[in-house]
Structure 1
């Protein structure tokens, strides 16, 4: 594993990971196609024909996507190649940001060298699952349960076995840096002793805590939106999606994901309207985009805000700001949904296939 980062020129390594992303993108296209076919059959539609006999060609990246007509959904047929190339670019961008630029390195979090490289692949699994969830959510407004369930299992087992895949420890307190504690000068952030002594239990703890916090925030938002808006503004798939995200990255990064998601929603909404004329998109893709941004820029997000995460009142304020931003976006979505369907169609929006 290490030779990819130490023995091969940087440019070649990034290209190799881009090629890996191209292959993963093809698998995601095939998965989305299979999910769509099964969904039609479950909903009582006619069974759809499978791909023709050229299975080997259909399985290849790029070549398979150029063979239109296999997928039962227009969006997937037209943009399969774009999905593959996009996955390749995201893989390459992540590896460049994390390995070449070091934008995920933070002070006092130094994984074992083997697991530092392992964390790259660990997060690439998460990125692959996020792309798959985004694809099905954009097409059918559904996130299959198997995606977050598989992700949570992989994340928790990986974190527990390695004990060294965290982006940040379960608990940091930079407010106690360079202070006298029990008669000794505390250098750097305070980290509980059990974290230093029990890496594998710590891995299990931060992953499970991230899962609970990620799912809990979105579950709380569902409940409050149901109370205030008269309907659940986000689906249960978004709850399980954030459980998966939290289990991969921990509770502190997942707070940043929730904080950035409304900004991604606003920017993404304008972009989608500008380029496609579509005026509504599911919330899950914005959570996925926010997660990718946090993965690639963790150093720049964590270092200015790290004092907050050791100070409970500041954490409460951060939670309030995050939820406030999300509720603002949800209210805008609610106002849109109040517009009669005929008015939406006049704007150029058509229901999903």
Structure 2
């Protein structure tokens, strides 16, 4: 039986994350516990190693993420040369691909080398995304500071000043919530790529390209565009009614895997309320909650991880064009975990397709056509 979009088809085995009865876990640990008690660096270690780190291991990881944050000069020059009107995801894809050319160990396929490359990619992708924004604003590129954690450093490299602790905590939690999600589209594309024994950079570039689509990583950017178009509480009802009448897709609702609600959404909703109040943008939260109520009542759909992440990032002063690249920063931890797992027990991924075209078609020479 052919299943469109491979929905419900199990194509591999993985010990990284699971979605069972609507509960998301990373290496068996409930996402609610990780979002409440953990840090993004701890989650990186967990995804890559299958267990939580001890203090020394966590400190070593944090140090490496800072040390590897510097970009080669040619990469910096490349970033500055890219067209300003190109979407940041396209810039990120191109830059990440070019970055592989400056890694002298790119073809070393030992697990130790690949783990080290995963560290480099995780660190540098944060610097690259911040640099894309800084360059577009005519500002100098900043590098991570050793006294900051991963989330602090990204906000510092983005804004050029010490970030507010609430902002740091909110971003860190958002990165944790987006870090992995079983065999999603971008993770699958990464595993397909490296299953050919292509290098880890090629796998990440494939994943970035997949994430750039509006049905995957681009959804929260689309949510923010919708919130901007609505702009006021009184405009919600007519906007949503018109969208439903014309069958316009309202982004940020429903999920192919979750039927009783995305477990990550409640964390982002609480963060949205807290941040919008802190930054004087409560209207964003109020509009969002009203949309949630209407869509739930009229369509029976609940918000997914993308819906409230839009107002969270907006409250952090992040431009909507950067929402998906930040998703990529977070998901890099999951992508690299799956890539390492694929390398450990590799088999070429080569599915079949059910042929539905013409049969026994006669070839006609060009002179007779």
Q: TM-score, structure 2 length as denominator?
A: 0.26
**Higher RCO (CA < 8 A, seq sep 6+):** 2
Q: TM-score, structure 1 length as denominator?
A: 0.27
